[in-house]
Amino acid sequence: MKIEMPPSTMLNPVPVVMVSCAGKEPMKIGKRPNIITCAWAGTVNSEPPMVSVSIRKSRHSHDLICETQEFVINLVSEELAKACDYCGVRSGANEDKFDKLDLHAVPSPHLEFAPMIEEAPLSISCKLKDILELGSHDMFLAEVVGVSVDEKLLNNKGKICLEKAHLVTYCHGDYYSIGKVLGFFGYSVASKEALRRRMPPKKTKKSNKK
């Protein structure tokens, strides 16, 4: 039996990302590079690749993104989890979060103003296409104009191995590290050969017998 609850944002888990942005004059205090943590983020189209992030008007980052029409979505590794939380509870209007957290803002090769976070495993450069005023949040719809990945995450064939990044997800107020692989796209209908090749080996219990 299910118990009925009032309508709420219960879609879980969701990605949690660090969105970096800056004003057009990044040397000015109110326009310096900034990071906002967002859980209301998602992929919304494949061709062209498009994403959305929903940000309240009251956030400092809201104004910066409106000013430059650019932002970068940085994926969060386990190592960045605490910094990610910090960027979600302190405003860049009052402090330099890059400096405070010893993170580095590096130029995106695809954008004019919004920097990437050097320490992030993967950074998605985005150009704003539209803003939907939904109520509490404004949804920024953007096109992905470039993806920059830590070279350590590429295998010798140039494939991105995101499992090496130990990414973080957000579920009902808590951060989790992604762990166990359960299958791959289409594994429910895959051939035995594909399953043998691509499924993680099943752990066998060590016998205590000597």
Ligand X SMILES: Cc1cc2nc3c(=O)[nH]c(=O)nc-3n(C[C@H](O)[C@H](O)[C@H](O)COP(=O)(O)O)c2cc1C
Query: 187: alpha, beta or left, given left = phi > 0 and alpha = psi -120 to 50?
Result: alpha
Q: How far is the CB of 63 from ligand X (least distance, A)?
A: 8
d(CA 131, CA 193): 47
Q: Which residue is nearest to ligand X (CB)?
A: 88
| Closer by beta carbon to ligand X, 30 or else 109 | 30
| Closer by beta carbon to ligand X, 60 or else 127 | 60
Using alpha carbons, select from 83, 27, 59, 31 the residue that is nearest to residue 140. Answer: 59
| Closer by beta carbon to ligand X, 60 or else 166 | 60
Q: How far is the CB of 136 from ligand X (least distance, A)?
A: 8
Q: How far is the CB of 90 from ligand X (least distance, A)?
A: 5
Return residues touching ligand X (CB under 6 A): 16, 34, 36-40, 54-56, 59-61, 85, 88-93, 137, 170
Give the 3-state DSSP-derived string for 144-190, with helices as H, strands as E and coil as C: EEEEEECHHHECCCCCECHHHHCEEEEECCEEEECCCCCCCCCHHHC
Buried b (16+ CB within 10 A) or exposed e, 149-161: bbeebeeeeeeee
| Closer by beta carbon to ligand X, 38 or else 80 | 38
Q: How far is the CB of 108 from ligand X (least distance, A)?
A: 18
Q: How far is the CB of 14 from ligand X (least distance, A)?
A: 9
| Closer by beta carbon to ligand X, 131 or else 190 | 131
